[in-house]
Amino acid sequence: MDVALSPDLERQLAETLKAGRYTSASEAISEGLRLLFAANLTRAEQLARLREDIQIGLDQLDRGESVDGETALREVNARLARR
Protein backbone atom coordinates (compact mmCIF):
# COMPACT_ATOMS: atom_id res chain seq x y z
CA MET A 1 0.00 0.00 0.00
CA ASP A 2 1.33 3.41 -0.92
CA VAL A 3 0.51 6.36 1.29
CA ALA A 4 1.18 9.98 0.39
CA LEU A 5 1.89 12.32 3.29
CA SER A 6 1.93 16.08 3.27
CA PRO A 7 5.36 17.65 3.72
CA ASP A 8 4.41 18.67 7.26
CA LEU A 9 3.38 15.12 8.19
CA GLU A 10 6.56 13.75 6.63
CA ARG A 11 8.61 16.19 8.73
CA GLN A 12 6.76 15.28 11.92
CA LEU A 13 7.15 11.58 11.20
CA ALA A 14 10.88 12.00 10.59
CA GLU A 15 11.22 13.92 13.89
CA THR A 16 9.30 11.19 15.72
CA LEU A 17 11.53 8.49 14.26
CA LYS A 18 14.66 10.51 15.02
CA ALA A 19 13.55 10.90 18.64
CA GLY A 20 13.38 7.10 18.85
CA ARG A 21 9.70 6.87 19.74
CA TYR A 22 9.17 4.33 16.97
CA THR A 23 11.57 2.09 15.09
CA SER A 24 9.96 2.57 11.69
CA ALA A 25 7.51 4.74 9.79
CA SER A 26 5.23 1.73 9.46
CA GLU A 27 5.15 1.26 13.23
CA ALA A 28 4.36 4.94 13.83
CA ILE A 29 1.62 5.05 11.18
CA SER A 30 0.11 1.81 12.48
CA GLU A 31 -0.07 3.29 15.97
CA GLY A 32 -1.68 6.42 14.57
CA LEU A 33 -4.30 4.37 12.79
CA ARG A 34 -5.03 2.36 15.97
CA LEU A 35 -5.58 5.62 17.84
CA LEU A 36 -7.80 6.95 15.06
CA PHE A 37 -9.95 3.82 15.06
CA ALA A 38 -10.22 3.90 18.87
CA ALA A 39 -11.28 7.56 18.74
CA ASN A 40 -13.90 6.76 16.10
CA LEU A 41 -15.26 3.96 18.26
CA THR A 42 -15.41 6.30 21.25
CA ARG A 43 -17.31 8.88 19.19
CA ALA A 44 -19.76 6.23 18.02
CA GLU A 45 -20.32 5.11 21.61
CA GLN A 46 -20.84 8.71 22.75
CA LEU A 47 -23.31 9.28 19.93
CA ALA A 48 -25.22 6.13 20.88
CA ARG A 49 -25.41 7.31 24.52
CA LEU A 50 -26.57 10.75 23.40
CA ARG A 51 -29.32 9.20 21.28
CA GLU A 52 -30.41 7.10 24.28
CA ASP A 53 -30.50 10.21 26.50
CA ILE A 54 -32.53 12.09 23.89
CA GLN A 55 -34.98 9.20 23.68
CA ILE A 56 -35.34 9.18 27.47
CA GLY A 57 -36.14 12.90 27.36
CA LEU A 58 -38.64 12.45 24.54
CA ASP A 59 -40.34 9.63 26.44
CA GLN A 60 -40.55 11.85 29.52
CA LEU A 61 -42.15 14.61 27.46
CA ASP A 62 -44.67 12.12 26.05
CA ARG A 63 -45.61 11.18 29.64
CA GLY A 64 -46.01 14.85 30.55
CA GLU A 65 -42.93 14.86 32.78
CA SER A 66 -41.66 18.32 31.97
CA VAL A 67 -41.42 21.82 33.35
CA ASP A 68 -41.69 25.13 31.57
CA GLY A 69 -38.58 27.15 30.76
CA GLU A 70 -39.03 29.70 33.56
CA THR A 71 -39.34 26.97 36.20
CA ALA A 72 -36.31 25.14 34.85
CA LEU A 73 -34.25 28.34 34.86
CA ARG A 74 -35.26 29.11 38.46
CA GLU A 75 -34.23 25.59 39.51
CA VAL A 76 -30.87 25.86 37.75
CA ASN A 77 -30.19 29.27 39.30
CA ALA A 78 -31.16 27.98 42.75
CA ARG A 79 -28.78 25.02 42.41
CA LEU A 80 -25.98 27.32 41.28
CA ALA A 81 -26.62 29.67 44.19
CA ARG A 82 -26.35 26.77 46.68
CA ARG A 83 -22.88 25.94 45.34
Q: Is residue 62 part of a domain?
A: yes
Using CA atoms, how far apart are residues 51 and 57, in angstroms rounded to an integer?
Answer: 10
In which domain, by residue range, is 22 found?
7-82
Q: Is residue 68 part of a domain?
A: yes
Give the model confidence (pLDDT) of 50-67 as tens digits: 999 999 999 999 999 999
Mean pLDDT for 29-49 is 96
**pLDDT above 90 (res 82):** yes
Q: Is residue 2 part of a domain?
A: no
Which 8-state DSSP code applies to residue 22? -
- The candidate with the shortest Cα–Cα distance to 16, out of 29, 2, 1, is 29
pTM of the predicted structure, to 2 decimals: 0.60
Mean confidence (pLDDT) of the chain: 95
Using CA atoms, how far apart are residues 27 and 52, in angstroms rounded to an integer?
Answer: 38
Using CA atoms, how far apart are residues 18 and 25, in angstroms rounded to an integer?
Answer: 11
Using CA atoms, how far apart are residues 3 and 32, in angstroms rounded to an integer?
Answer: 13
Place 1 in a pLDDT band, splitting at 50, 70 and 90: confident
Q: Is residue 53 part of a domain?
A: yes
Number of domains in the chain: 1
Q: Is residue 1 part of a domain?
A: no
